[in-house]
A and B are shown apart, each in its own frame.
Chain A
Amino acid sequence: MNLLLSMLQHGAGAAATHSEPHVIFGMNPLWVAAIVFVASYAVIMSEKYNRAMVALLGGGLMILLGVLDQHAAINAIDWNTLGLLCGMMMIVAITRRSGVFQYLAIWSAKKVKASPWGILVMLSLVTAILSALLDNVTTVLLIAPVTLLITEELNIKPYPFLFAEIVFSNIGGTATLIGDPPNILIGSLVESITFNDFLVHVAPVVPVVFIATLFPIWLIWGRKLKATDRARERVMRFHEADAIKDVPLLKKSLFVLSLVLIGFVAGHPMGLEPATVAMTGAALLLLLDNLKNNAEEQDKSVHHTAGEVEWVTIFFFVGLFVIVGALENAGGLELLAGQVLALTEGAADATEVTSTLAMAVLWISAVASAVVDNIPFVATMIPTLQETFEQLKESGVGLSYAQEHAVWWSLSLGACLGGNGSLIGASANLIVAGFAERAGHPIRFVTFLKTAFPMMLMSVAIAAVYLWLRYL
């Protein structure tokens, strides 16, 4: 209700931050922007229509209705996010052809003599590390089929293994700027945050969450997992070396991946943004992969790799940026920031404001991310929080960089860990569920929720303690 009253009071007066809106029929630009924003988000959350299609239509409507012009819409698109996503998608698309993901999964299963609990722990670890270094969607896409093979050979139900892979792909992805889309957005849209900041401020809590989450998994399933010696022997007969399909490609991929990771770590002081590093790395790997090919083969190879970029996701981001940019242009984020600010009423100083904000953002993000897609949620929260910080400065309770960062880490931890709260909480969850269904072991929404939601709350509680002890 407060928000509605504020909208009526602000009207067109608040709507002139970037470009002057010229909304058709002289309608209130804030109302138009708010209606298109809410309608687009509602349809995206309903999952009845493709999310890229809806986001692009919402963005197009914002321009057509005059909430912002095309120039402002293009300015609202964060090209660093898109460049980073495209670059990493191409690198991963080429690298996975080498078979290294399957190799790691089989190697880790054999390292523990094919004992079921050992395999679960090792596959969880591999999933978490690869999710942090690459991205969690690709990781589960390649690890889940091997898991199904291994559990079939062991003659045990794959559910505990797939459940663990879902959970640990989201936990691992939390650790780095490139691991999970919410972090990519935070790292790209908040100028003062670098790749290393995530390693220093978010990554340290991830191993703690990892170990703590393994415990209930062991209690529920792990201690009962058993396989016969004969079944374990079948897994031990796997030849992991045969999983590597292209040794030269593997070497090139690992070389470029190392360069890219060094670029992320060392690039920021030299003014290199993650998108530059990822896109240059992708171009270099494409070149190395095609050195011996003639022009026609190169065309085919580059076309194939470019086709493996998830363009639906890229266009979804483009549409989202325009929708959020339009809302910002019409003054809507200013109002949302006012609502966020209201949460800190009664806080005596900047320290108390930071504590209240950080805890509220952490828990709200976690629960929201379990229920709805965390990408649009974070895309809206980032400019809203930036506006909140501005309003705090104007009211004389400006937060320091360190205090602002504590709130960003809350958003990152809440949104990424919150993805574990339900089967629809993150893209990786749905991919594993899809594989399980096709393999004849469907993962039920409620069954997953009953175990995953409490585990998610536990991991967020650990994150809250970590934030409290370190920053608040």
Chain B
Amino acid sequence: MTCSSIMNTNLTTVSADTKVGATIELLCKNHFRSVPVVSDEGRFLGQFGVHTVLELSSPMGSLIAREGPMTDISFMDDNMDDLRRRLAKVWDQPVREHVYKSVPSLHPNDSLTRTVLALAKTQDNIAVVDPDTRILVGIVSYWDVLDHLSDGQ
């Protein structure tokens, strides 16, 4: 059994030119944790998700949240207006500028073991891409795996 047998091919994606604001609205409307970002040719570019939104609304978000020696900035006293103000700065920018590229991806022929372990490690949906063209062909989520697991019980 391979990754392709459990992946979801009914995809919701956004193009690289979609605005950040529109993408956030899509996440909110569908309660998605993240959404794949693709090029005009359908190539997988990365993910844009709730974590990215939280980072963009926090002070120097991406820098402090992901790396660097200063991970604790509790000396700042933000209110909701401060968070909205930071997000407003990027609201009309294309999502390509904030796409998270360092995400794992799977190939359709990857084994089920590899797929399950990757999901356990990432704790998020994983894009399934064609190894030659990088075209997005599906998504695997832990819900897909749970559905398959519970069917057999």
Contacts and interface: CB of A to CB of B under 8 A. Distances in A.
A47 interface: no
Contacts of B59: 149, 152-153
Contacts of B63: 145, 148, 435, 438-439
Given A142-B69, A148-B60, A152-B60, A234 B75 contact: no
Interface residue tally on A, bucketed by range: 20 to 34
Nearest to B74: A242
A149 B69 contact: no
B70 A142 contact: yes
Contacts of B62: 438
A141 interface: yes
Interface string A24-39: 0000000000000000
A393 interface: no
Contacts of B82: 234
A173 B80 CA distance: 41
Contact of B75 (A141, A142, A152, A243): A243
A242 B74 CA distance: 7
A124 interface: no
B135 interface: no
A239 B69 contact: no
A435 B73 CA distance: 16
A238 B69 contact: no
B67 interface: yes
A107 to B, nearest CB: 10
B27 interface: no
Given A439-B60, A439-B63, A145 B68 contact: yes
B67 A238 contact: no
B67 A149 contact: no
Interface string B55-73: 0000110111001111011
A240 B75 contact: yes
Contacts of B25: none
B117 interface: no
B60 A96 contact: no
Contacts of B60: 145, 148-149, 152, 439
A102 B64 contact: no
Contacts of B67: 438
Contacts of A245: 72
B76 A145 contact: no
A146 interface: yes
B132 interface: no
A146 B77 contact: no
A96 B71 CA distance: 12
A438 B67 CA distance: 10
Interface in A172-211: none
Interface of B: 59-60, 62-64, 67-70, 72-77, 82
5 contacts: A145-B64, A145-B68, A152-B59, A238-B76, A239-B77
